[in-house]
Amino acid sequence: MKSSSKGGLVYSTETGRMCPDCGRPVAACACKANAKAAPVGDGVVRVSRQTKGRGGKCVTVVKGLALDGDALAALGKRLRTACGSGGTVKDGVIEVQGDHCELIMEALKQHGHSPKRQ
């Protein structure tokens, strides 16, 4: 049994690895559940157009939505359907293929968000 610098339990032969923050087994860690539940975003919805690193192809990017993963994926699906194009949701950012900034801003306003163009 090893001790961390904080003096907490790191490994137990009964349950295996222990979380250094909450002290529970890693399988039943409360820290990860709380981190996943907290939505990522600063509250300001930013809509921008990017071409960097995409071989010159244009992508409309929506950042700053304070939604959890499932709600963000559902909103991304609605936005892609409204634009009639493909896209993805990665790391809390919705990417829609093509230049659809104005259309996406209107769709976000209808869903109750106040987007800003960047």
Q: What is the pLDDT of residues 9-34, one digit of tens each?
A: 666 677 777 777 777 787 777 776 56
Angle of the 69-83 helix axis to the 101-110 helix axis, nearest 10: 130
pLDDT value of position 1:
47
Residue intervals of the chain classified under CATH 3.30.780.10 are 45-117
The alpha carbon dihedral of 14, 16, 17, 18 has a sign of negative
Arithmetic mean of pLDDT, 32-52: 73
- Token output for 58: 């244009």
Architecture of domain 45-117: 2-Layer Sandwich (3.30)
Lowest mean pLDDT among 4-8, 68-72, 74-78: 4-8
Arithmetic mean of pLDDT, 23-48: 72
Query: Which of 3-7, 32-36, 91-95 is the most confident on average?
Result: 91-95
Is residue 65 a contact partner of residue 75, using CB atoms and an 8 Å limit?
Answer: yes
- Token output for 85: 């194009």
What is the identity of the amino acid at 25? P
